Structure 1
Amino acid sequence: MATFGRLLTEPEPYCCLVSGLRIAPSPGAPAGLVIPADELVERYSHASGPGGQGVNTADSRVQLSFDIAASAVLDEVQRDRLLRRLQSRLAGTVLVVVATEFRSQRRNRIAARERLAVLLSEGMAPPSRPRRATRPTRGSIERRLTSKRLRGETKRARARPDDS
């Protein structure tokens, strides 16, 4: 299924299903992931902002919730990574995503599911390797000292001559 705002030729990293949410294989989930619909909670309300004639008749704001701690599809490593990395976005253990950018409820449902899929796939990715400390090379030290010396000479040349 093509999403709005993306070219049809681009590969889709995730797919919104009627029955759930599918996340393509990624470093944190090598086999991919399918979140069943009964673990997702959708709520609808009136979206704020402009909307023309349909502003008061369409419930176009979509709030999608996913309880990370209660999910049966996540293993312990994935659950711990998500709870740790998404801690600032969580309400308890529930991740809430809101979509209001479209007037259509259907498009907002797709946008919310895509946003949730991106958050989950990025949150499950393994941490990057720590940086190994290295020493500067002899050449880089010499270049830095040479440039400092030249800059000092330039500034001394601009100074007023001594009155002695």
Structure 2
Amino acid sequence: MKFDPQEIASRDFSTELKFETSRSSGPGGQNVNKTESRVTLRFAVTSSEVLSEEERTRLQQKLANKLTSEGELLISSEKHRGQLQNKEETVKLFQQILTKAFTEPKKRKKTKPSKAAVQKRIDGKKKLGEKKANRRKPDF
């Protein structure tokens, strides 16, 4: 089935996204010890109402190593000092992950080595063969 990655990523997931805050280890000096600037986004793939059944299975297959045992996708950000910027960062990362998951990989085109490349390979083999032949004792 064909998926439109841009259309899926632009849907409104705001009702299904849950945000948690915690203390960050990033920049901020002593401020880090008292403010909760790290934001973790939680998205339950298995119980999503926004995605169709095929889209959910596709996400579960593509993001199998990123999902928890309960089928939740976790994205954290502690890049910025502010909680709001980290929240925006996690949403941006979420959209990128969705876009990447629904993008079809390009088909591989079969190619042949060029005549020059084939000739170069054969010349190299001949040169190596001659070098090894010269190492032998001469027969009289």
* TM-score, normalised via structure 2 length: 0.77
1:152 Cα deviation from its structure 2 partner:
1.9
Change (3 A) 1:132 1:51: closer
Q: Does the Cα contact within 8 Å between 1:61 and 1:100 map onto a contact in 2?
A: yes
- The 1:151/1:58 distance shift into structure 2, 3 A limit, reads same
User: Which secondary structure state, in structure 2, belongs to the residue aligned with residue 35 of structure 1?
Assistant: coil
The unaligned stretches of length 5 or more in structure 2 are none
Aligned to 1:90: 67
In structure 2, the residue matched to 1:5 is: none
> Which consecutive unaligned segments of at least 5 residues does structure 1 have?
1-26
- The SS at the match of 2:46 is coil
Counterpart-to-counterpart distance in 2, 1:52 and 1:135: 58
Give percent identity, aligned residues only: 30
Q: State the TM-score, normalizing by the size of structure 1.
A: 0.67
What is the count of residue pairs matched by the alignment? 136
SS of residue matched to 2:4: coil
Taking structure 1 as reference, are residues 54 and 40 closer, same or farther at Cα in structure 2, changes over 3 Å only?
A: same
Instruction: Return the letter of the residue paired with 2:73.
Output: L
CA separation in 2, counterparts of 1:132 and 1:53?
55
Structure number having the greater helix percentage:
2
Greater RCO (Cα-Cα under 8 Å, separation 6 or more): 2
Per-residue CA distance 1:58-90 (angstroms, 9 max, x = gap): 110100011112112212332221110100000
User: Tell me, what secondary structure is at the counterpart of 1:38?
Assistant: coil
Equivalent in the alignment of 1:145? 122
**Mapped partners of 1:118, 1:161: distance in 2:** 66
- Give the root-mean-square deviation of aligned CA atoms: 2.8
Residue in 1 that maps onto 2:78: 100
